Structure 1
């Protein structure tokens, strides 16, 4: 279970998150919604360690952790960025294996085995030696998901996963997210403006502006 306790984040004199409290049960999908500027992405960036909260606690299974200091035994969150952030000069297989080799210190054969399995699960077999520019937007997003999963996170976070996708690909992303929940038992957090998508995939919805947390029927 993931718990956020009294998380506060300020930029200068502006308070973005004010003593925010949130609990996410294991293997559930949380959608974070709200208007632009309400703090959705800031919350995701604090949780994933891209921004440091000014105060408050992050707990995983009752153990406090610092998202800004990940380690092999403390890989709590992985992130799928809105713009994918793939390395354009690396092949798809190298995009996926780079961080596990450098950060997790996996040997090349182990990293390759994991990457190929993830590509197979995400219907990307045969794309290993291509470069990002040779892929469609939906394929790039699945590579970004594979890259995040290769780091073996406990929680997978998405920043606006449907923002640039047509309806068919939007449905495909929803299927992948639900598959990760049902087959991989993955806890997931989705920042989105797409309320229809949020209701399609989420167990819980958190509205940042109103600080309102409710269960989805």
Structure 2
């Protein structure tokens, strides 16, 4: 279970997140929704450690942790970026294996086998040697999900996973998220799409813009 207590994020005199507390239960999906500018993505960036909070504490199964600490033995939070952020000069396999081998120092052969298994699960068999420019938007999305899963996170976060996808691909992403739930993956989804949120989420957290 992920617990966030009294999270506050400011930029100068502007408060973006004010004393927010929330709990994400194991094996469930929480959707974070709200109007543009309400701080949804900033909340996700604080949860994933891409931004430092001004105050607040984070707990995983009762143990406090620092999301910004990249030296932690176990990866607690993984993220799938809105624009995928795949390295254009690396193949699909290269994108997936880079972080596990460089950050976690895992053997390349082990990481490649994990990558192949994950690619198969997400319908990407045979795409290992392609480059991002050779993939469709939906395929890039799935590669980004595989890359995050390869770090074996306890929680997987998504920033606007359907923003650049047509309705058919949006349904495909929903199926992937719900399938990962069946495999006991705890997930957090930031989205402006309320229909999508209601389709996938066990709980919806609404954030409002601070005046």
Same fold (TM over 0.5): yes
2:32 counterpart residue number: 32
The Cα of 1:210 is off from its aligned counterpart by 7.8
Q: How far apart, CA to CA, are the structure 2 residues paired with 1:33 and 1:180?
A: 21
How far apart, CA to CA, are the structure 1 residues paired with 2:51 and 2:141? 23
1:16 touches 1:38 (CA, 8 Å); kept in 2? yes
Q: CA separation in 2, counterparts of 1:64 and 1:210?
A: 28
CA contact (8 A) 2:78 2:155 kept: yes
Q: Note if 1:198 corresponds to 2:169.
A: no
* Superposition map of 1:1-217 within 5 A: 1-71=1-71, 73-182=73-182, 184-209=183-208
Inter-CA distance 72–9: structure 2 relative to 1 (3 Å threshold): closer
- Is the Cα–Cα contact under 8 Å of residues 29 and 187 in structure 1 kept in the other structure? yes
Q: Secondary structure at the match of 1:106?
A: coil
Quote the RMSD (CA, aligned, Å). 1.1
The one-character-per-residue Cα deviations of 1:60-97 (angstroms, maximum 9, x if unpaired) are: 00100000003352311000000000000000001000
Query: Unpaired runs of 5+ in structure 2?
Result: none
TM-score, normalising length from structure 1? 0.95
The aligned length equals 210
Q: TM-score, normalised by structure 2?
A: 0.98
Superposed CA deviations along residues 168-187 of structure 1, whole A, max 9, x for unmatched, are 110000000000001x2000
